[in-house]
Amino acid sequence: MKKIAVILSGCGYLDGSEIRESVLTLLALDTLKVKYDIFSLNEDQYHVVNHLTGNVQDNEKRNILEESARIARGKIEDLTKINVDNYSSLIIPGGFGVAKNLCSFAFDGINAKVNPIVLKIIHAFHSDKKPIGAICISPALIALSLGANKPSITLGNDKNLADEIEKTGVSHHKCHTADCIIDEKNKIVTTPAYMDDGINLADAYQGISKLVKAVIELS
């Protein structure tokens, strides 16, 4: 039985995992009757954002693992405990937590640093030729980690962002929210989801479902 590892980066699209993308990913996995385990970094998140006002809460700190546990209903493990040998593939939902907590792309662009724990795990899955699915902004994390392998990815339809991310070595492809880009050679699947704030939930689910199905088929 194939089992998939899912990495979350907090709880809330402005400072953690995008909750809708995370839940839709788990729903797609459940619908296909695929087992999964959820992991997260056991570190403080970069900062805390009030999701009502959009303001940074300067005096507040939150732990990425504890926040991710809200989405996982407590069924989650410290990312340092993952054994890549136990999983057929990896999926990373989006949200600014990916670009702030798993790497520094939100602040440093293509000069960003990837958290060393996260980088090691992404490299391990790729080296073992195990598929990686990346949603929303997560393909930027893949570009920073695996750009030298020249994978094909999507971050949606923003030409300026596409031009910038291609400087890492990746090949960017425009993609509608309801679809995904499949790189069979590198076994990387990406979908835009909420890279476009104006999308509807149904299209997001369709794109994420296609990604999950493709990741499973590549395993």
Q: Examine the residue annotation and report whether 136 is marked as an active-site residue of this protein.
A: yes
Question: What's the CA gap between 39 and 29, in Å, rounded?
Answer: 15
Give the length of the chain: 219
Question: What's the CA gap between 38 and 55, in Å, rounded?
Answer: 29
- Name 213's Cβ contacts closer than 8 Å, sequence gap at least 6: 28, 32
* 32: nearest Cα among 74, 57, 2: 2
Structure tokens at 86: 């136990």
Structure tokens at 197: 């704030």
Q: Would you give the end-to-end CA distance of the chain in angstroms?
A: 11
> Could you please report the per-residue DSSP string of 92-144?
E--SHHIIIIIBSHHHHGGGPPBPHHHHHHHHHHHHTT--EEEETTHHHHHHH
The answer to whether the Cα torsion of 93, 97, 99, 102 is positive or negative is negative
CA-derived radius of gyration, the chain = 16
Of 103, 136, 175, 180, which residue is the catalytic one?
A: 136
Active site residues: 136
